[in-house]
Amino acid sequence: MIDLFKKGDLMIYSTHGVCQIDDISDKTIAGETKSYYTLHPINNTQKLQISIPVDSDKVMMLTLLEATEAKSILESFRSPGVEWNPHPNNRNREFLNVVHSGNRQEIAQVINTLARRKAEADLLNKKLYEQDRKILENAKTILVKELSLALKQSETEIEQQIASYLSEEAIASV
């Protein structure tokens, strides 16, 4: 079997975000020997080590974005986002499905929509629905980190660009 990743590579792993592969080794668990990635989140303040089978199809493992795709995703924040589902439980399910799909362009549009809704709520001294807030925070943290790596910019610069694109749209619609 050919490994998709090698030791030292960065990857996106599920909800942990950007992780670095520390080792690839065979492990025997419950009498079955498989190759495993040993990795850690790059913002690893708790020294978390994760071990996952190389051939796992139950978790999302993605290669990092290329710069051209990252630029396109960043530019997508100039568009209005996705259609708002007024039913919180259905919306939550839809948005989580998108986030778990790994499609960064679609994830960016969910973040875009939620960020706009959060800005609207803030203007009215209201709060974003808690499930929406969690999806926004988690997905945005991972995407911003990945965009910053792909574009070789700081996370703060990426967040500022996103905020400026969101405000451009708001100003244009006034």
3-state secondary structure of 27: strand
The one-character DSSP state at 83 is P
Position 5 in a domain:
no
Same domain? 85 vs 167: yes
Same domain, 48 and 100: no
In the listed set 63, 86, 101, which residue is the last one of a domain according to the structure?
63
Same domain, 95 and 164: yes
Compute the half-sphere exposure of residue 46: CA atoms within 13 Å on the CB side of its CA: 4
Same domain, 50 and 99: no
pLDDT for 58: 64
CATH number at residue 76: 1.20.58.1290
Predicted confidence at residue 1, as pLDDT, reads 39
Same domain, 27 and 103: no
Question: In which domain, by residue range, is 118 found?
Answer: 67-172
Q: How confident is the model at residue 173 (pLDDT cuts 50, 70, 90)?
A: very low
Of 114, 108, 122, the residue nearest 77 (C-alpha): 108
Model pLDDT, residue 47? 80
CATH of the domain at 28: 2.40.10.170
pLDDT over 60 at 2, yes or no? no
Phi-psi region of 11 (alpha: psi -120 to 50; beta: other; left: phi over 0): beta
Same domain, 18 and 97: no
Instruction: Give pLDDT tens digits for 144-170.
Output: 999 999 999 999 999 999 999 988 755
- If asked whether residues 49 and 83 sit together in one domain, one would say no
The answer to whether the Cα torsion of 65, 69, 75, 77 is positive or negative is: negative
CA 154, CA 152: separation in Å to the nearest integer? Answer: 7
Same domain, 57 and 143: no
Query: Residue 135 domain-assigned?
Result: yes
Clarify whether residues 83 and 54 are in a common domain: no
Q: Are residues 49 and 71 in the same domain?
A: no
Per-residue pLDDT of 87-144, as tens digits, reads 999 999 999 999 888 899 999 999 999 999 999 999 999 999 999 999 999 999 989 9
Co-location of 34 and 87 in the same domain: no
Does any domain span residue 136? yes
Q: Angle, nearest 10°, between helix axes 67-75 and 130-151? A: 140
Number of folded domains that form the chain:
2
